[in-house]
């Protein structure tokens, strides 16, 4: 845990309430029966930043997402979204959160717009407003002309873009994506990564992007390395690379994860 | 310039609840329209029973005059309420199965990240499923009318609340089963939930049939009404508890589609 640091330094000009972290996780632990999935996870994300939650399969990424989205109750630790604890005030926290789950969650038999309008309704957005927002969001992901097509007829990359559009319909300030590029080809992957990056820059959304693919990490991204339920490192990618002495983030990641098991006690 | 950063005042709280309910019912209706085979299948079962079995049994079986009937009725008229509730039972079990399936596909997750309270989301889903089952029952009644089963016209109206109540009860039972389905593989009903066991012993299905039977003739069977009301609340309460993140089975089971 030597490299772990609280991400307090990153400047933020988009949000006046800059003292408030977009996502603050403190001392979060979780168990499935006797198996510990998360061990004392602590980190904070500032508004209008792009952070990558980097970890191999089984590192605890999906568990973390289930806790943040309140599918499971937090048993130890705290999760706050813009200051709202997901335990006592889930409504306020979930209102500020947009989610793209790893498995596809669109209704295949309904049209793209119908899926968006359903999601809007779940957030209490009326039909007219929902249609307007839906059209605006689809234009952003370049799918306006597919609005009335059934989701079943879209490609994997297009479905992901619809899911991102859907996650932003209620205008959350925090967007979390769990392995959003799984099963996509290289072109679709880079398109989605580029689109989500542009959301941070243009809209000031805070993004937490979970992945096991090291090549999705950009040099300027904030990186959180999660391994076997523990945070091994947190900081800008370039800093992690420099500290590890490796040539690139791939080297830094493998150095961290292979070193963690033996010298964890130190 | 921005599609995201403008902040409009959100509609008042009550309107949000109404919009959410409307959206859930609307989606259920759309899914129903897209699955015509489901509609046909739901009607085929009771109609086969009505056309073939009842036609055969009418020669053999007579039903004595017991309330709510005031005259001698044919067997097919007698079993009609049973077939109506059977449609709702199948509908409840089907939506329970689709919920298990939904959850694996993540649709349940989409529902549960809504900022509205979870009990409200689950109740809305229940109401939506009930609305679909009531539609199916009326379609059946229409066909049955052509077959000569003609309850008093007022019965078509008075049966509606009974159908809603029966639909809610069976839907809630389905929802409860969907949340317990992993547990049922391991434990039997009696061990896992003594409450559920006693409820089964009460035989809520029979009472639902009697409630509908009386309502179809513009009468009320108070005992059945009490049992069905009690079971509806009991099942719903248990289902909401089961989907509660703190107490529910979700956290013990592990994430759907996630890690085991």
- pLDDT digit string, tens, across residues B131-151: 989 999 999 999 999 888 888
Q: Does A66 touch chain B (CB under 8 A)?
A: yes
For residues A240, A244, A245 and A247, what is the CA-based torsion angle, rounded to 10 degrees? Answer: -60
Quote the minimal CA–CA distance from B137 to chain A in Å: 24
Tell how strand A76-81 and strand A84-85 pair up: antiparallel
pLDDT digits (tens, 9 = 90+) for B224-243: 999 999 999 988 888 888 77
Q: Do A126 and B15 touch (CB under 8 A)?
A: yes
Count: domains in chain B? 1
Which residues are within 8 A (CB) of A101 and not within 5 positions of it... i.e. 6 or more apart? Answer: A65, A163, A178, B106, B109, B110, B257
Per-residue pLDDT, B107? 73
| Joined tokens for residue A202 | 């243009």
CA distances from A206 to A8, A12, A189, B43, B180 (A): 14, 11, 20, 51, 37
Q: How many CB atoms lie within 10 A of CB A195?
A: 16
Three-state secondary structure call for residue B183: helix
Asked if the Cβ–Cβ distance from A71 to B112 is below 8 Å, we say yes
Q: Which residue of A has its CA nearest to B17?
A: A124
Q: Cβ–Cβ of B106/A125 closer than 8 Å? A: no
Reading the block at residue A184, the tokens are: 């996509």
Closest chain A residue by Cα to residue B13: A124
Q: Note whether A121 contacts B17, CB cutoff 8 Å.
A: no
Q: Which of B42-56, B161-175, B181-195 is most confident?
A: B161-175
Indicate yes or no: CB of A126 within 8 angstroms of CB of B117. Answer: no
**Parent domain of B133:** 14-246
Q: For chain B, what is the largest distance between any 2 Cα atoms, rounded to a whole number of angstroms?
A: 78
B20 vs A contacts (CB less than 8 Å)? 121-124
Over its C-alpha atoms, chain A yields an Rg (Å, rounded) of 18
Domain annotation covers residue B48? yes
Tell me whether residues A90 and B115 touch, CB distance under 8 A. Answer: yes
| Residue B66 resides in a domain | yes
The answer to whether A184 touches A156, Cβ cutoff 8 Å, is yes
Task: Please tell me the predicted confidence (pLDDT) of residue B72.
Answer: 75
Would you tell me how many other CB atoms lie within 10 Å of the CB of residue B39? 15
> Cβ of A82 under 8 Å from any chain B Cβ?
no
Q: Does A234 touch chain B (CB under 8 A)?
A: no
Helical (H) or strand (E) element with B128: helix B118-146
Distance CA(A72)–CA(A87), nearest Å, equals 10
Q: Which of A93, A99, A123 to mutate to test the interface with B (most CBs of B within 10 A)?
A: A123
Beta pairing class for A50-54 and A206-211:
parallel
Contacts of A123 in chain B (CB under 8 A): 16, 20, 114-115
Q: What is the rounded distance in angstroms from the CA atom of residue B155 to the CA atom of residue A55? A: 63
pLDDT at B246: 60
Q: Is residue B31 part of a domain?
A: yes
**Mean pLDDT score of chain B:** 79
Domain presence at residue B5: no
Q: Quick one: CA dihedral B175, B178, B183, B187, positive or negative?
A: positive
Q: Is residue B253 part of a domain?
A: no
CB A208 within 8 A of CB A177: yes
Q: Is residue B197 part of a domain?
A: yes
Chain B residues within 8 A of A66 when measuring between CB atoms: 255, 258
Angle subtended by helix axes A156-167 and A112-122, to nearest 10? 30
Mutate to test the interface with B, among A105, A114, A120, A131 (most CBs of B within 10 A): A105
Taking CB atoms and an 8 Å limit, are A101 and B4 in contact across chains?
A: no
Residue B176 inside a domain? The answer is: yes
- Structural domains of chain A in order of their starting residue, each with its CATH number: 18-96+173-266 (3.40.50.300), 106-171 (no CATH)
Q: Which of B5, B10, B260 sits opposite A204 (nearest CB)?
A: B5
Q: What is the ipTM of this complex?
A: 0.81
CA distance A57 to A55: 7
From the CB of residue A58, how many other CB atoms can be counted at a distance below 10 Å?
15
Burial A87-121 (b: 16+ CB within 10 A, else e): beebebbbbbbbbbbbbbbbbeebbbbbbbbbbbb
- Each residue's pLDDT tens digit, B171-222: 998 888 777 765 444 444 455 566 666 666 678 888 999 999 999 998 999 9
The full length of chain B comes to 260
Within a domain: residue B59? yes
- The angle subtended at Cα B125 by Cα B172 and Cα B218, nearest 5°, is 60
* pLDDT score of A8: 37
pLDDT of residue A3: 40
Percent of chain B with pLDDT over 70: 75
Determine the straight-line distance between the first and last CA of chain B, rounded to whole angstroms.
44
Q: Cα–Cα distance between B185 and B189 in angstroms, integer?
A: 10
Residue of B30, B98, B115 to mutate, testing the A interface (most A Cβ within 10 Å of its Cβ): B115
> At residue B129, does pLDDT exceed 50?
yes
* Mean pLDDT, each 10-residue run in order, chain A (266 residues): 38 47 93 87 93 90 89 88 88 92 86 94 92 92 92 91 93 93 88 91 93 89 92 91 87 85 44
Q: Who contacts B1 (Cβ-Cβ below 8 Å, separation ≥6)?
A: none
């Amino acid at each position: 845990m030597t490299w772990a640091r609280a991400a307090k330094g990153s400047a933020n000009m988009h949000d006046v309430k800059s003292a408030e972290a977009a996502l603050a996780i403190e001392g979060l632990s979780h168990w499935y029966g006797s198996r510990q999935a998360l061990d004392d996870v602590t980190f904070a994300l500032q508004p209008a930043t792009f952070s990558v939650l980097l970890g191999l399969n089984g590192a605890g990424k999906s568990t973390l997402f289930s806790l943040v989205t309140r599918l499971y109750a937090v048993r130890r630790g705290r999760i706050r979204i813009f200051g709202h604890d997901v335990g006592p005030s889930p409504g306020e926290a979930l209102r500020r959160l947009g989610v793209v789950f790893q498995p596809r969650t669109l209704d295949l038999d309904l049209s793209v717009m119908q899926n968006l309008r359903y999601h809007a309704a779940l957030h209490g957005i009326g039909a007219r407003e929902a249609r307007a927002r839906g059209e605006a969001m689809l234009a952003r992901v370049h799918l306006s002309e597919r609005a009335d097509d059934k989701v079943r007829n879209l490609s994997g990359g297009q479905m992901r873009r619809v899911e991102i559009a859907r996650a932003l319909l209620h205008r959350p300030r925090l967007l979390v994506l769990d392995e959003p590029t799984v099963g996509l080809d290289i072109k679709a992957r880079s398109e989605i990564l580029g689109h989500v990056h542009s959301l941070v820059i243009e809209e000031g959304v805070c993004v937490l992007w979970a992945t096991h693919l090291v090549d999705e990490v950009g040099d300027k991204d904030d990186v959180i390395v999660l391994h076997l339920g523990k945070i091994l490192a947190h900081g800008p990618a370039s800093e992690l690379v420099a500290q590890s002495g490796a040539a690139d983030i791939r080297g830094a990641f493998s150095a961290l994860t292979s070193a963690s098991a033996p010298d964890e006690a130190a | 310039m921005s599609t995201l950063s403008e902040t409009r005042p959100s509609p008042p709280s009550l309107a949000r609840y109404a919009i959410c309910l409307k959206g859930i019912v609307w989606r259920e209706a759309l899914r129903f329209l897209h699955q015509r085979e489901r509609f046909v299948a739901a009607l085929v079962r009771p109609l086969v029973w009505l056309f073939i079995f009842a036609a055969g049994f009418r020669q053999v079986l007579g039903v004595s005059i017991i309330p709510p009937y005031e005259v001698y009725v044919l067997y097919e008229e007698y079993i009609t309420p049973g077939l109506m509730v059977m449609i709702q039972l199948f509908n409840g079990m089907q939506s329970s199965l689709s919920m298990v399936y939904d959850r694996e596909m993540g649709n349940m997750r989409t529902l549960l990240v809504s900022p509205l309270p979870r009990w409200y989301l689950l109740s809305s889903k229940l109401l939506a499923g009930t609305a679909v089952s009531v539609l199916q029952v009326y379609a059946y009644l229409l066909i049955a009318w052509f077959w000569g089963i003609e309850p008093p016209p007022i019965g078509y109206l008075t049966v509606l609340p009974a159908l809603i109540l029966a639909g809610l009860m069976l839907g809630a039972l389905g929802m409860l089963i969907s949340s317990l389905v992993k547990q049922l593989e391991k434990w039997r009903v009696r061990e896992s939930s003594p409450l559920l066991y006693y409820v089964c012993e009460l035989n809520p299905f029979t009472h639902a049939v009697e409630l509908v039977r009386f309502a179809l003739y513009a009468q009320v069977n108070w005992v059945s009404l009490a049992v069905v009301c009690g079971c509806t609340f009991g099942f719903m309460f248990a289902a909401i508890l089961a989907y509660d993140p703190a107490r529910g089975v979700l956290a013990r089971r592990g994430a759907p589609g996630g890690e085991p």
